[in-house]
């Protein structure tokens, strides 16, 4: 017959307690059944594992050799079970998230704070990725989910859930204050340096389409690696740039930057949560996704 894990679990308990009776009590079993299982194990392995005496049970040399391997296996299984119970019980675990700066600041930080307060044992790993980088990382299984800004194209098994709309406005520093006092057209602003994230970002493609819609040339004079670099550069009068109205509000109130009003309406942008439902999701990942999308 095939020897199952239960036989080795019983063997481990007998070796630990040096007694069939005490092992039976610890396992919630009865002594005759424990003895029978160990007789079967010895028969199947073709050797004696125990020396039985009035002083209790001791291991034979063969039993000691087997015990070294069984003890390691049983302990590893026990540790695995405990770790799994803690993870399922949301006492520990890791969730890996990709996020653009805009998505992080407008929405994700608040939800992550709520999640952390509720489940302080879960570690959060946040990667500041552009939209294309987040999609690539999700497809490779490097992220559990990502909060990104449109436009984007999902392929394969990826699923997008819309989270919120947000509005961006055109900004200039104190050097461009005069532009804030008039209604401007895109074509009239072509002589001013435009600050924008690079061509590998969704923001670049969004404004490229926006300019083309109104037959205006789209030339980025100062390219940033991330969106959060746009506002400081505008503030230092290096050019004009588009930025979240909400995130720019404080700088506008301090008169560090000024809104440049356009004739052409800027379309709302969208933040979405991207996930790959084809991959098994741990309890912590499912709970965080639920918290992010529930509102």
User: Would the pLDDT of 1 be above 60?
Assistant: no
130-145, pLDDT tens digit by residue?
888 888 888 888 899 9
pLDDT number for residue 88? 64
CA separation, residue 15 to residues 38, 63, 71, 145, 218 (Å): 11, 9, 9, 47, 77
Mean pLDDT for 18-24 is 89
| Cβ-Cβ contacts under 8 Å for 106 (sequence gap 6 or more) | 164, 166, 244, 246, 247, 271
Which of 49-63, 89-103, 161-175 is predicted with the least confidence, judged by mean pLDDT? 89-103
75-89, pLDDT tens digit by residue?
888 777 766 666 665
Average pLDDT across the chain, whole number:
89
158-173, pLDDT tens digit by residue?
899 999 999 999 999 9
pLDDT number for residue 53? 81
CA distance linking residue 95 with residue 102, whole number of Å = 20
Question: Domains (ranges, CATH) in the chain?
Answer: 5-88 (1.10.10.10), 93-165+271-293 (3.40.190.10), 168-267 (3.40.190.10)
Strands (DSSP E) found in the chain: 50-53, 56-59, 93-99, 122-128, 145-149, 159-166, 168-173, 183-184, 194-197, 222-224, 240-244, 257-262, 269-275
Mean pLDDT for 22-29 is 89
- Which residues face 223 on adjacent strands? 196
CA separation, residue 217 to residues 147, 187, 201, 240 (Å): 30, 8, 18, 15
178-224, pLDDT tens digit by residue?
999 999 999 999 899 999 999 888 899 999 999 999 999 999 999 99
């Amino acid at each position: 017959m095939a020897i199952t894990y239960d036989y080795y679990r019983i063997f481990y308990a007998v070796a630990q307690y040096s007694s069939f009776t005490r092992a039976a009590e610890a396992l919630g079993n009865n002594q005759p059944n424990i003895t029978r299982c160990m007789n079967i194990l010895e028969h199947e392995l073709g050797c004696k594992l125990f020396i039985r005496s009035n002083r209790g049970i001791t291991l034979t040399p063969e039993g000691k050799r087997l015990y070294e391997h069984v003890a390691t296996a049983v302990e590893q299984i026990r540790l695995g079970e405990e770790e799994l119970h803690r993870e399922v019980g949301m006492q520990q675990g890791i969730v890996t998230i990709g996020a653009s700066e805009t998505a992080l600041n407008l929405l994700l930080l608040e939800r992550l704070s709520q999640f952390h307060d509720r489940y302080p044992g879960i570690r959060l790993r946040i990667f500041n990725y552009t939209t294309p980088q987040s999609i690539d990382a999700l497809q490779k299984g490097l992220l559990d989910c990502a909060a990104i800004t449109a436009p984007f194209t999902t392929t394969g098994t990826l699923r997008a859930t819309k989270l919120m709309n947000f509005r961006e406005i055109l900004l200039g520093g104190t050097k461009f204050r005069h532009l804030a006092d008039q209604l401007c057209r895109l074509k009239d602003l072509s002589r001013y340096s435009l600050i924008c994230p690079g061509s590998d970002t969704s923001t670049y493609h969004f404004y490229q389409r926006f300019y083309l819609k109104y037959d205006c040339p789209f030339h980025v004079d100062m390219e940033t690696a991330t969106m959060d670099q746009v506002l400081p550069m505008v503030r230092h009068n290096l050019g004009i740039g588009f930025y979240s109205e909400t995130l720019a509000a404080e700088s506008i109130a301090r008169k560090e930057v000024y809104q440049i009003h356009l004739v052409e309406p800027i379309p709302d942008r969208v933040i979405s949560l991207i996930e790959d439902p084809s991959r098994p999701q741990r309890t912590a990942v499912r709970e965080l996704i639920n918290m992010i999308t529930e509102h």
